[in-house]
Structure 1
Amino acid sequence: MFERINYKNQAREQLKGKLKTPIIAFVVTMAITAMAAGLPQENLDGTTGLISFLLISFINSVSSFAFLRIFIQIYNTKTKAEFSDFINSFSHFVKAFLGFLWFYLWVGLWSLLFFFPGIVKAFSYSQMFFVLAENPKISVSKAMNISKVLTRNHKGDLFLMSLSFLGWEFLSMLTLFILQIWIKPYEAMSFTNAYYALKEEAFRTGSLTPADFES
């Protein structure tokens, strides 16, 4: 059973007294993303444009991966994460970037058929980032296959959970997005709880075993 409200309630409790590092990490991630997006784009030819796109994608994927690992750590240790944990996660830059490319390659290919299949596959592959964040030694293709098993019969649940944050996003607009520094950690922690619930269900039903999460 997918208990969306429970995952969100748990997230609020889990983040009490532990928000400092997630907030700083989010601000740093957004600053890095903004700087990457601000790189000169005009007058770029095909090759230079591709290099620029890959550079921006690399920066975004690595910083987002490091941000996600904070919540994996909070879930597993029940203690607050340090900013050094966020910085140390940048050492997994290769896996983070390859995961990003693999995800968007397949979502893009499915989107060529029609927009709806692309959305469905995006949710089907969505848990691969949690798998990689928890187990950086796992191959990207294996993480995607695990995600497809984890999200079986739950893609709609994950979609509805995403929609449940739209109200917070609207309120954030009214605060000139200042509220994002709380919303994004709350959202990331909630989806981390959902990931572990899906993982436990897969173990319980025999769809996956702990050995599947080994490199």
Structure 2
Amino acid sequence: MKTNSELKNRAIDALTGNWGLGAVITLVYGLVMNTPTLPYRIMESVASSSFSLIALLLLPLGFGYTVLFLDVIRGIKLDFARLFDGFKDYGRILGTMLLTTVYTFLWTLLLVIPGIMKSYSYAMTLFILKDYPELQYNAAIEKSMAMMSGHKMKMFLLDLSFIGWAILCCFTLGIGFLFLAPYVEASHAAFYEDLKKELGESVEAISE
């Protein structure tokens, strides 16, 4: 596979000319996903909840936000409307995302480290949902696990490399995160593309 530096450079190249729109999409995504919980924060009993039903139903926005940066990596111009692609196949997307959330939560109940490891095992699931419309639920998750076998540490180190930027963003009143998030997402998409290319036919065989 390419080095993490090469993957990040590919993300930067793909985002050239798309940084502004990427920041706007990130802002809208963040506002939509957080706004439903605002009324509940007024009430102490509900403020302690980790998520609301509305936020849960909006999970497919996360799919749209992730895969639109995959399009960018593939040379497709960033399109705001793609943020809502998850609602075009709502049941499949929501059901699979709920499963990954539940599985990660259950593993985290055991210990934090196993939970983190499993989250990396499931990291390719949304990309797989986009590229393989015939896969859903456990089939998509299992394909992600197969792809990430032996590659979780590499992706962890990729994420770790953004810590410096994240610290700097804290000094921008959060504005910097509007640009950092697209950078991270595009890097993840580049990781997926490179991993998929490396595994090739072997991944197809595992998923069948």
TM-score (norm: length of structure 1):
0.85
What's the offset of the Cα at 1:24? 2.1
Residue 202 (structure 2) aligns with: 207
Q: 1:156–1:211: structure 2 CA closer, same or farther, 3 Å change rule?
A: closer
Please tell me the residue identity of whatever aligns with 2:204. Answer: T
Count of aligned pairs between the two proteins: 205
For residues 26-61 of structure 1, the C-alpha deviation after alignment (integer angstroms, 9 at most, x for no partner) is 11101102202213253768xxx79x73322222x2
CA contact (8 A) 1:131 1:147 kept: yes
SS at match of 2:29: helix
The separation in 2 between residues aligned to 1:197 and 1:170, in whole angstroms, is 28
Long gaps (5+) in structure 1: none
Please tell me the residue identity of whatever aligns with 1:145. Answer: E
Residue 96 (structure 1) aligns with: 93
Please tell me the residue identity of whatever aligns with 1:91. Answer: K
4+ residue runs of structure 1 moved beyond 6 angstroms?
A: none
CA contact (8 A) 1:92 1:136 kept: no
The separation in 2 between residues aligned to 1:83 and 1:210, in whole angstroms, is 35
Matched, 1:32 2:32: yes
Matched, 1:17 2:24: no
For residues 121-173 of structure 1, the C-alpha deviation after alignment (integer angstroms, 9 at most, x for no partner) is 11111111221133344212111111111111111111111111111111110
CA contact (8 A) 1:69 1:134 kept: no
What's the offset of the Cα at 1:88? 4.3
The separation in 1 between residues aligned to 2:107 and 2:148, in whole angstroms, is 17
Matched, 1:69 2:67: yes
CA contact (8 A) 1:150 1:202 kept: yes
What's the offset of the Cα at 1:197? 1.0
What's the offset of the Cα at 1:211? 9.5
Q: 1:117–1:98: structure 2 CA closer, same or farther, 3 Å change rule?
A: same
What is the CA RMSD across the aligned residues, in angstroms? 2.4
The separation in 1 between residues aligned to 2:13 and 2:27, in whole angstroms, is 22
The separation in 2 between residues aligned to 1:135 and 1:39, in whole angstroms, is 38
Q: 1:161–1:212: structure 2 CA closer, same or farther, 3 Å change rule?
A: same
Residue 54 (structure 1) aligns with: 53
CA contact (8 A) 1:68 1:133 kept: no
Q: 1:6–1:55: structure 2 CA closer, same or farther, 3 Å change rule?
A: same
CA contact (8 A) 2:67 2:126 kept: no
Residue 192 (structure 2) aligns with: 195
Matched, 1:152 2:149: yes
Residue 111 (structure 1) aligns with: 108
Q: Percent identity?
A: 24
Matched, 1:181 2:178: yes
The separation in 2 between residues aligned to 1:210 and 1:182, in whole angstroms, is 37
